[in-house]
């Protein structure tokens, strides 16, 4: 005798059917990919649904180029949005095309773009509220509860002239590093279906990798923008809290809870650094503090710009970009591919006369971050999440089964103590940027501050589904509220799978044991992934970070060229 259907199963079935029904029949793939095919990135151009022109629109341009072409009337928003909607093929596509037509008519009538993102299709994580649409964040119990107001950032994107053409999938509870929920299923990595697409902005990462979106917006409280960007070989930027509006999000918690722990932030995921800069500039110039009271009253032009970005110093010498290299967090030793790419980066940057490289050991600080972060992540003991799941008898996702359980909410005294320890670490961290703290000097003998530092995003390459290890390499910078970005370097290659993890003098911790287990298994699963690094700047210095990213991207292009040569041999 079959078991009766649980409430969540009925709700999920209805939502999936609605999603399927919203896709025009001639946009549905007639022939499914072969079962053994793991890389599906090229299917949109092979399936016959997109015209040659639509393939060109979605693959030739980045967001910055599209905005320029749209404003110059060389492209129509309706054509661009339709092309991306075809690739996205999700529920919001018909409404998006209607808005695109309105924007084209506005430009024809007035001769002026609606705003800095006029006509550009942008995808957003499901946690953003859009009037008339659910922000279910994968909970069956939050389905069929359409938002009555827009999130602050949605209002700004619409004012900027963007077209919100779809919302993207996330993990149940928003606390997983693999994006799976019971309502919409699992996000797959299009470069290798065996690899995780990351979380919690996994849907954004996968969609942008497939070029179903050219610019997306995720959120990040422990790595949720940077990790999906790494898993999908993209650029992703986590700002400091207060730079980009976050107000009006659905996160499944009781209102006000987020102010007690680590503050989540919103930021872009894209194919290029300049598209992320386009996003920050557009939002900054529209005065985000008028939409979210926690935002800093500072436009893009008013933000910090460092002389480090290749301008003459007072002595007449060129002030070089000073970049720190951080090889480990002192908790989990990076696997050989991560060690290799960090050394390649160090050597490539040292050969650039415009960059000064500083070897930086901050393990004494980073090793303290994870304990504090874990404590602040558990402010409410996950009780709100379990209440939402139990309301419809919904099971917990696989990655979370051994990692999340109900606990007592933290007491006010415990929260106070954790915040005090966090504040102390933030203050101590200030010294790593200072010339008198690091005792480094430039080529002229003058002391100078460090601009950014580079470190791993994880102690392993992009792993198989449901096997991500630790977030200590990313959550530390949420705890410290430092802007941080994912920068793709090169694809992982067969030769990266050689090497041995050095023996340790002392007993390894749990994360170390798990990391070694990943390496001792089938290493070929890592193939298809992209080796990326994390770039970190001082608090509220997003413009410095983005300008440094541009210089670093140019300097590290040689590593991609070397990879291309080796792949032909």
Distances (CA, A) of 157 to 109, 151, 160, 281: 21, 10, 5, 12
| Tokens 């959550």 sit on residue | 475
Annotated active-site residue 20? The verdict is: no
Q: What is the pLDDT of residue 48?
A: 87
In sequence order, the 6+-apart residues with CB closer than 8 A to the CB of 412 are none
| Tokens 């002026």 sit on residue | 112
Spot the catalytic one: 141, 224, 475, 555. 224
Q: What is the pLDDT of residue 1?
A: 58
Q: What is the pLDDT of residue 318?
A: 61
Q: What is the pLDDT of residue 92?
A: 40
Spot the catalytic one: 125, 129, 540, 551. 125
Weakly modelled stretches of the chain, pLDDT under 50: 90-93, 310-311, 313-314, 437, 442-446, 569
Q: What is the pLDDT of residue 437?
A: 47
Q: What is the pLDDT of residue 29?
A: 79
Tokens linked to 328: 């480990």
Annotated active-site residue 264? The verdict is: no
Binding residues for substrate: 174, 200, 221-224
Q: What sections of 163-302 are H helices per DSSP?
A: 202-209, 226-231, 273-285
Q: Is 5 helix (H, G, I), strand (E, B) or coil?
A: coil
* All structural domains of the chain with their residue ranges: 321-362+418-568
Binding residues: 174, 200, 221-224
| Tokens 């909970």 sit on residue | 139
Annotated active-site residue 224? The verdict is: yes
Q: What is the pLDDT of residue 564?
A: 57
| Tokens 């292009």 sit on residue | 557
Pairing between β-strand 265-270 and β-strand 321-325 as defined by DSSP bridges: unpaired
Question: Helix count (H) and strand count (E) of the chain?
Answer: 18, 12
Chain segment 363-392, per-residue pLDDT in tens: 999 999 999 999 999 999 999 999 999 999
Q: What is the pLDDT of residue 435?
A: 66
Q: Is 185 helix (H, G, I), strand (E, B) or coil?
A: strand
Q: What is the pLDDT of residue 309?
A: 57
Inter-residue long-range contacts of 16-23, CB under 8 Å, 24+ positions, other chains counted? 16/183, 16/184, 16/185, 18/91, 19/90, 19/91, 19/184, 22/90, 22/91, 22/93, 22/94, 23/89, 23/90, 23/91, 23/93
Spot the catalytic one: 77, 141, 179, 200. 200
């Amino acid at each position: 005798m079959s078991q009766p259907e649980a409430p969540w199963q009925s709700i999920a079935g209805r939502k999936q059917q609605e999603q399927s029904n919203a896709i025009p029949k001639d946009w549905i793939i007639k022939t499914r990919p072969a079962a053994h095919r793991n890389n599906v990135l090229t299917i949109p151009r092979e399936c016959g649904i997109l015209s040659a022109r639509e393939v060109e629109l979605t693959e030739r341009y980045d967001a910055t180029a599209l905005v320029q072409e749209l404003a110059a009337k060389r492209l129509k928003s309706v054509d661009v949005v339709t092309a991306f909607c075809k690739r996205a093929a999700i529920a919001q596509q018909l409404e998006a095309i209607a808005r695109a037509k309105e924007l084209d008519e506005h430009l024809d009538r007035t001769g002026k773009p609606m705003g800095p993102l006029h006509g550009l299709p942008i995808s957003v994580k499901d946690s953003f509220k859009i009037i008339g649409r659910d922000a279910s964040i994968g909970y069956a119990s939050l389905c069929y509860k359409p938002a009555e107001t827009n999130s602050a950032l949605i209002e700004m994107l619409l004012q900027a002239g963007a077209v919100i053409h779809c919302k993207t999938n996330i993990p149940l509870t928003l606390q997983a590093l693999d994006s799976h929920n019971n309502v919409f299923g699992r996000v797959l990595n299009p470069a290798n279906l065996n690899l995780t697409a990351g979380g919690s902005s996994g849907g954004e990462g996968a969609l942008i990798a497939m070029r179903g979106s050219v610019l997306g917006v995720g959120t990040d409280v422990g790595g949720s923008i940077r990790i999906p960007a790494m898993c999908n070989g993209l650029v992703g930027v986590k700002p400091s809290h207060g730079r980009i509006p976050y107000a009006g999000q659905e996160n499944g918690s009781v209102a006000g809870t987020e102010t007690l722990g680590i503050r989540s932030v919103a930021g872009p995921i894209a194919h290029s650094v300049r598209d992320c800069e386009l996003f920050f500039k557009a939002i900054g110039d529209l005065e985000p503090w008028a939409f979210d009271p926690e935002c800093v009253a500072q436009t893009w032009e008013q933000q910090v710009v460092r002389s480090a970005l290749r301008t003459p110093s007072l002595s007449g010498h060129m002030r070089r970009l000073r970049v720190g290299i951080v090889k480990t967090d002192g908790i989990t030793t990076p696997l050989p591919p991560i060690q290799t790419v960090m050394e390649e980066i160090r050597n490539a940057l040292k050969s650039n006369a415009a960059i000064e490289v500083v070897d930086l050991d901050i393990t004494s600080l980073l090793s303290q971050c994870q304990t504090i972060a874990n404590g602040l992540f558990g402010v409410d003991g996950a009780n709100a999440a379990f209440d939402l799941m139990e309301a419809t008898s919904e099971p917990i996702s696989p990655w979370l089964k051994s990692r999340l359980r109900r606990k007592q909410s933290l007491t006010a005294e415990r929260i106070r103590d954790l915040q005090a320890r966090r504040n102390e670490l933030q203050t101590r961290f200030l010294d790593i940027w200072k010339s008198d703290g690091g005792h480094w000097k430039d080529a002229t003998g003058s002391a100078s501050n460090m601009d950014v530092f580079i470190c791993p995003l994880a102690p392993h390459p992009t792993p198989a589904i449901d096997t991500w290890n630790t977030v200590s390499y990313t959550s530390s910078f949420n705890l410290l509220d430092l802007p941080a970005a994912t920068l793709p370097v090169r694809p992982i290659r067969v030769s990266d799978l050689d090497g041995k993890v050095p023996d340790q003098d002392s007993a390894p911790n749990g994360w170390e044991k798990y990391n070694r287990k990943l390496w001792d298994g089938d290493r070929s699963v890592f193939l298809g992934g992209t080796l990326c690094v994390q770039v970190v700047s001082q608090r509220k210095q997003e413009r410095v970070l983005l300008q440094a990213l541009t210089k670093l991207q140019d300097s590290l292009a040689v590593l991609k060229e070397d990879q291309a040569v080796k792949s032909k041999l």
